[in-house]
Structure formats: C-alpha cells, structure tokens
Structure 1
Amino acid sequence: MAGWALCTALVLAALAGAAGAVAESRYEKFLRQHVDHPRTAALMAHRYCETMLARRRVTAPGRPCKPSNTFVHAPAEELVAACTQMPDAAGLHSTPTSMGLTACRLRGGDTRPPCAYRARQLQHHVRVACLDGLPVHLAGTHAPPQ
C-alpha cells in the first residue's frame, strides 16, 4: 500500500513539473534564451555558445541547431526599461545605452546537432519587442553611433 502511495505521489509530482514547464511565459522564455547576467565566466570562450545554448535548452538533441542567438550580459531590469522607450516604426524598442553581448552564430552549413557556434563579444544597443511592458523577443542589436 505504501509503495502505491509513493508511486502515485511521484507521478503527480512529475505531472506538476511538466505543467510548470509548459506554463513558461513569453518573458520567462526571453530571459532563459537571452539574458546571462552576470556573464557566465567559468566557460572557455570558444565553448560559451555551445554550452549556454544547451544549458538554457535553446538547442536540444533531435531538434535543428538555431542559426543564431544573442546573450545579453546586463540586468533584466535594463531590458524591461527598454519597453518604456518610444518604439520605432516597426514597433520595436531599443535600449537607451549599449550593453555587453555575446552573439552566437552557427558555424558551417549543417543544422543538425552537434551544433558548433562562433562567439563574438559586442557592445551594442538591443532592440526588443514588448508585450505588457515586458520584453518577449530580441529583434536584433545595433552598434552605438560613432
């Protein structure tokens, strides 16, 4: 009897965990895929993209490699603040200041795992799409004016 109760409890806990994963908001997904503040420093530079994209579940076995992804090394609050800026003609908001980024680009033409990326460190403004005052999509980056 105790074994059955334990089994039931484990199944219910697994279902609750699965339901929690499904309930990720667009803002939470944005944070998971794009914000690494402070920058994870323990990684070797040439392995940063592969490790972070796998760790953050952006790439996964059985799915194609994502062609590019950008990690922002600034507090999430600074990206939320971008949503208060005047949108451009496309409805996108830019951060008022540039911030540290790691831009990951897929190397080679193969889009199947294992995924190999090239990492570039940049200091750029970030353009985001916002929903209900929160960033939900990283639309691109641009260099500060010279």
Structure 2
Amino acid sequence: MAMGLGPLLLIFMLSLGLTPETLAQVNRYRHFLDQHYDPRPQGRNDRYCNNRMRRQGLTSPCKDTNTFIHGTGRSIRDICGDESGSPYEGNLRISNSAFQITTCRLIGGSSRPPCRYRAHSGYRNIVIGCEDGLPVHFDESFIRP
C-alpha cells in the first residue's frame, strides 16, 4: 500500500530534527512573507494595491488594511536581532532603520469583492513580532520623530 507524500514529507522533516513546533513557526514565517513581503514592487500606486491584494488572496473578504515591506528578506529577519532591531512593547521589535513600504487601505464601505484600495507609500520604521529569530507578525509602521 503506498503512503501519500504528506506523511513522507513529515517523517523526513522530523528526521532532520525539525519538531512540529519548528514546522509551525516556519509556516508562520512563510505566512508573514506572503502577506507583507514584496521585494520588487511594480509601481506603488492604487493599481499596485488592487492587484497585489487580489494576488495574495486578501480580497475574499476584502482585508481593510495591509502593508507590504519592500526590502530584502534578510534585512527584515535581522530586525529580530539586536543589530537591526530594538525591543518595543511586549515581544515586539522595532527596526533601527526605515524600510520602503506600501500600505493598502480599502476604500468604500463593503468588505465584499470587488475590493478597491488606495495606496500610501513611503519610508517607515516597522514593528514586527518575532519567534525564535523569525518575523511572524506585522504590527505597525511609523515615521520616527
């Protein structure tokens, strides 16, 4: 009887020393990247937001607000360390330098598609939640005084 690929992959990952907790953390990191990471944006205008939000599956229902970080994956991960990030509130960390970002905000009152977004772009320090050295939650962005 043949085993499915899913159980075989799990057995392989566990044999590498990856526990279910580690796999869950990696999945949260990938989810963070899917929702908030775009290293090379095409434009940073309303059309960008409308297309990117739809492509990332954030339009069913319409997500109210989402921020995309434009930088390298390594520079975002480094916020979880002491050289590129500083402790913020609770278990959050704030970047020591500004990142190029695009925030997409839903316009109109309905959360049902079609979704229309307004783009707000700029450079901001970002606040993220980290687990075991990996970003897993985007909290906010703001211009430091």
Between the two proteins, what is the percent identity of the paired residues? 36
Shift of 1:139: 0.3
Secondary structure of the residue aligned to 1:130 is strand
Whether 2:115 is the aligned partner of 1:118: answer: no
TM-score by length of 2: 0.76
Q: Deviations over 1:64-119 (max 9, x none)?
A: 11000000111111110111133223221011100111010010111111111100
Whether 2:69 is the aligned partner of 1:72: answer: yes
Q: Deviations over 1:44-80 (max 9, x none)?
A: 8221111001112222xxx311000000111111110
Q: Is the 8 A contact 2:86 2:95 kept in 1?
A: no
Partner of 2:39: 37
Moved >3 Å (runs of 4+): none
Matches within 5 A, 1:19-30: 25-30=27-32
Bigger Rg, structure 1 or 2? 1
Alpha-carbon distance in 2 for matches of 1:40, 1:75: 16
Alpha-carbon distance in 2 for matches of 1:67, 1:93: 24
Output the aligned Cα RMSD: 2.3
Secondary structure of the residue aligned to 2:87 is coil
TM-score by length of 1: 0.75
Shift of 1:143: 0.4
Matches within 5 A, 1:44-59: 45-59=45-59
| Greater share of residues in strand | 2
Partner of 2:140: 140
Alpha-carbon distance in 1 for matches of 2:56, 2:124: 22
Shift of 1:36: 0.6
Secondary structure of the residue aligned to 1:26 is helix
Structure 1: any 5+ residue segments left out of the alignment?
A: 1-11, 17-22
Q: Which amino acid aligns with 1:108?
A: G
